[in-house]
Amino acid sequence: PLTTTGELVARAAAEGRGVAAFNVITLEHAEAIALGAERAGTAAVLQISENAVKFHGGRLAAIAAAATAVARASSAPLSLHLDHVTDPELLRAAHAEGFSSVMFDASKLSYADNVKETAEAVRWGHERGIWIEAELGEVGGKAGEAPLDAHAPGARTDPAEAAAYVADTGIDALAVAVGSSHAMTERTATLDHDLIRSLRQAVPVPLVLHGSSGVPDPEIRQAVASGMTKINVGTALNTAFTGEVREYLATHATGVDPRKYLTPAREAMAGVTESFLRLVV
């Protein structure tokens, strides 16, 4: 069934476990995430990024309708979340399309501008019952930007600043920079667990780990134990998806039916989803 991100994250935080959120690009992603959640017997977040909306020609309605239909039909509780929104217009569109939650990303701006824009988004969203996640201390490696060194000392969220940011903006969850980086295809990141514990102490709202595809299993498990709640996974699904497509195409020189390679690709994504879900609970 369709549920809300706020509810899933609040319950996970109260129980000291994590909830995994997966990026949806195609219908097959949504189907795979639902399948993985059903197999793991747990809930998950289906998240659609601003970049994925752009990929669909800016038509949020189409991919949102597909993901919503998949969530409603699933036996697993699934919520719909709009991820990495920088355009306030898209925030308004999210409300129109029935999203219960949005990650508003002003992390590239100065602290003052980030606070100002995010607080405005929170005001607008809360009046309409939308749960808002925001980011402080940019997690690098977002689409279209040069890869940032995940271990660079600059790419870290300061606990005192984080506490002020949450108070000044009124957000419901905070994405933090603790050593992970977006779009990693190998799981080689190491997290700053002392910092995660300090942030957990300093910040009254659930914490979100972005770029989890590059984080090894034991590091993710430890991050959840240290107080990280929402675990965002995108690239790992695409690595599995593309690996299957590549293998099919390499061994079937004349095949043209996309279902022949999308079937194993979807199955591989379901497997990745299931293992991340089992890891964080």
Per CB under 6 A, 26 contacts ligand G3H: no
Per CB under 6 A, 206 contacts ligand G3H: no
Q: What is the largest CA-CA distance in the chain?
A: 59
Contact letters for ligand G3H, residues 150-189 (x by CB under 6 A): --------------------------------xxx-----
Vertex 27, ends 26 and 28: CA angle to 5°?
85
Q: Which does 212 bind (CB under 5 to 8 A by kind): Zn ion, ligand G3H, none?
A: ligand G3H
Residue type present at position 59: R
182 known ligand binder: yes
Token digits of residue 7: 């509810």
Per CB under 6 A, 83 contacts ligand G3H: yes
For the chain, what's the residue count? 281
Token digits of residue 120: 């405005």
Per CB under 6 A, 275 contacts ligand G3H: no
Residue with smallest beta-carbon separation from ligand G3H: 234
Buried/exposed code over 243-274 (b: 16+ C-beta within 10 A; e: otherwise): ebbeebeeeeeeeeeeeebbebbbbbbbbbbb
The verdict on whether 257 is a catalytic residue reads no
Among 210, 226, 262, 276, binds Zn ion (CB under 5 A): 210
Q: Which does 177 bind (CB under 5 to 8 A by kind): ligand G3H, Zn ion, none?
A: none
Q: CB of residue 180 vs ligand G3H: minimum separation in angstroms?
A: 7
In the region spanning residues 208 to 247, those forming contacts with ligand G3H, defined by CB under 6 A, are: 210-214, 232-236
105 in the Ramachandran plot: left (φ > 0), alpha (ψ -120 to 50) or beta? beta
d(CA 30, CA 241): 13
- The strand pairing partners of 187, in sequence order, are none
Out of 83, 158, 172, 192, the active site residue is 83
**In this structure, what are the phi and psi dihedrals at residue 23, rounded to the nearest 5 degrees?**
-80, 130
Q: CB of residue 123 vs ligand G3H: minimum separation in angstroms?
A: 23
Q: Which does 85 bind (CB under 5 to 8 A by kind): Zn ion, ligand G3H, none?
A: none
Query: Under the rule (CB under 5 A), what is the footprint of Zn ion?
Result: 210
Give me the active site residues, please: 83
